[in-house]
Structure 1
Amino acid sequence: MFRIIWVISIHLRNFMRRFMPTNILLDAIRTRRGLKWGVPAMLLAIPYLFVASICTALIDGGASRWLYVVALVCIWNALKFLVIGPICVGLLLQTRVADYRDSHRSQPHNTSAWG
């Protein structure tokens, strides 16, 4: 039973990673070229939180309780975008420091007095 649950969760994760738009965008942001878009991507959390608040307002007004699922997904996506900003800043600093070290190691140092 545990093995079946494990296999289903693996397949579900692979499906979500490949086909859900937020996961595709987050994978693109985590690349070396996409790290600079981490902080602006945090702004995408605002529309997700707005949609979640609309869903909960509709539920309070008498709409179907299935909108809680939509609200939960929107809140989850908003949290993912809020977290990616600081992570990208750290990764960008790490890559810049590594590039700086590599560029200074590859340059020959001239130790002669005449320069």
Structure 2
Amino acid sequence: MIRLLWTASTEVRYFLRRYMPSNIVLDLIRTRKGLKWGVPAMLLAGPYLATAFWCTTLIEHGGPGWLHLVVLLCIWNALKMMVIGPVSVVLLLRARAREYRSQRQHWQELSEDVPLGDLTRSAR
């Protein structure tokens, strides 16, 4: 029974990770090139919250009950988009610091390889 639940939850997670638009956007943002888009992606929370508000208005005026799931999904996606902004800034700072250290180490290794006498001769 537990194995069946485990397998089902794994398959659902795989499906949502692979085909849901918000998860695709978040996966693209978490790449090195996509980290700069984390803060602008926070703006996507607005349409999700507007859709949730619109659905709650429909529910209050006698709409179908399954709209509660849409509201829950929209609020969850809005929270994900709001969180990715600060997280992407931290990840971007860490990546740039790592790149800076790597570049500095590379230049130090290059300067150690060149003898000082060779530099003075080439400058003349």
The answer for unaligned runs of 5 or more in structure 2 is none
Name the amino acid aligned to 1:67: L
Name the amino acid aligned to 1:61: H
Deviation at 1:109, TM superposition (A): 3.4
Deviation at 1:66, TM superposition (A): 1.1
- The alignment yields a C-alpha RMSD, in angstroms, of 1.7
The answer for unaligned runs of 5 or more in structure 1 is none
Q: Percent identity of the aligned residues?
A: 54
TM-score, scaled to structure 2: 0.87
Q: Secondary structure at the match of 1:3?
A: helix
Name the amino acid aligned to 1:97: A
Residue aligning to 1:57: 57
Residue aligning to 1:109: 111
Residue aligning to 2:85: 85
Greater Rg over alpha carbons, structure: 2
Deviation at 1:27, TM superposition (A): 0.4
Q: Between Structure 1 and Structure 2, which shows a larger proportion of helix residues?
A: 2
Residue aligning to 1:21: 21
1:29-50 deviation per Cα after TM superposition (whole angstroms, max 9, x unaligned): 1001000000000000011001
Q: Secondary structure at the match of 1:109?
A: helix
TM-score, scaled to structure 1: 0.93
Runs of 4+ residues deviating >4 angstroms: none
1:18-70 deviation per Cα after TM superposition (whole angstroms, max 9, x unaligned): 11111111101100100000000000001100100110011111111111111
Matches of 1:10 and 1:84 in 2, distance apart?
23
